[in-house]
Homo-oligomer: A and B are copies of this chain.
Amino acid sequence: MEIAVLGTGIVGRSLAGRLHELGHHVVLGTRDPASTRERTDPDRMGNPPVSAWLAEHPDVELVTFADAATGADLVVVATNGQGTLAAVEAAGADAVAGKVVVDVSNPLDFSQGFPPTLFVKDTDSLAEQLQRGFSGARVVKTLNTMTAHVMVHPEEVGAGDHSVFVSGDDAAAKQTVTELLRSMGHTDVIDLGDLSTARGAEMYLPLWLRLMGSLGTPNIQVKIVR
């Protein structure tokens, strides 16, 4: 598949690298490729600059959000939640029309410090905002309930015996995403229902954040036992 990953942070890089490894043609989208490439300092999480990652992944091209989305069959939005709508806006409504748009972002608001709160919740979700803003897109929410490394290497936590959720209004889009998730090693993909069920997946984040604090690692996952 031709896949565009929007966002060059650790989530975008992890997904881009893994999807490339699985045989997809992947492009990485950013607002301004030249300035993104010029950064030489680690990001605020201590990750190396994108240029170092690109040097190790010569087959993954860094292009604008619009160029990335235009050539893609499937678009992954892997920005931080504050940038989700702006990234797809920059990509352009036409560029995502008719395409599966995978939203893995979380509506985290760090303005009051840690732990963050959610800037949309309970009666709405970031995924629904995205769908309303780009009605031609086929939005699927998934993977927001785990850290980047576990998204792409689920087998490294509990031998992969845990669950991932999908929410969306388009059954075929959810099926495409479910197959992608399985190809990355996710064995228990739970279809929560329509896109409004993303409210549940996004509201799990406050628990995840406390678990990370209490257990001292982000390498945790949720298994739905039934």
Query: Interface residues of A: mostly helix, strand, loop or mixed?
Result: mixed
Please tell me if the beta carbons of A206 and B203 are within 8 angstroms of each other in the complex. yes
Given known contacts A197-B210, A197-B214, A158 and B204 CB-to-CB distance under 8 angstroms: no
Determine how many copies of this chain the complex contains: 2
Sample 11 A-B pairs with CB under 8 A, ordered by A number.
Answer: A121-B122, A190-B215, A193-B210, A199-B206, A200-B207, A201-B210, A203-B206, A204-B207, A215-B226, A220-B226, A223-B224
Residues of A within 8 A of B (CB-CB), count: 39
Contact partner, A222, options B123, B158, B225, Cβ 8 Å = B225
CA distance A2 to B151 in the complex (A): 47
Name A198-221 residues within 8 Å CB distance of B. Answer: 199-201, 203-204, 206-211, 213-215, 217, 219-221
Nearest to A112 among chain B residues (CB) is: B123
Residues of B within 8 Å of A213, CB to CB, are: 192-193, 197
Decide yes or no whether A117 CB sits under 8 A from chain B. Answer: yes
Nearest to A109 among chain B residues (CB) is: B122
Nearest to A199 among chain B residues (CB) is: B206
Most-contacted residue by chain B among A199, A213, A226 (CB, 10 A): A226
Decide yes or no whether A191 CB sits under 8 A from chain B. Answer: yes
Smallest distance from the beta carbon of A117 to chain B beta carbons, Å? 5
0/1 string, A13-35, CB within 8 A of B gives 1 = 00000000000000000000000
Smallest distance from the beta carbon of A118 to chain B beta carbons, Å? 6
0/1 string, A40-70, CB within 8 A of B gives 1 = 0000000000000000000000000000000
0/1 string, A139-165, CB within 8 A of B gives 1 = 000000000000000000110011001
Nearest to A125 among chain B residues (CB) is: B206
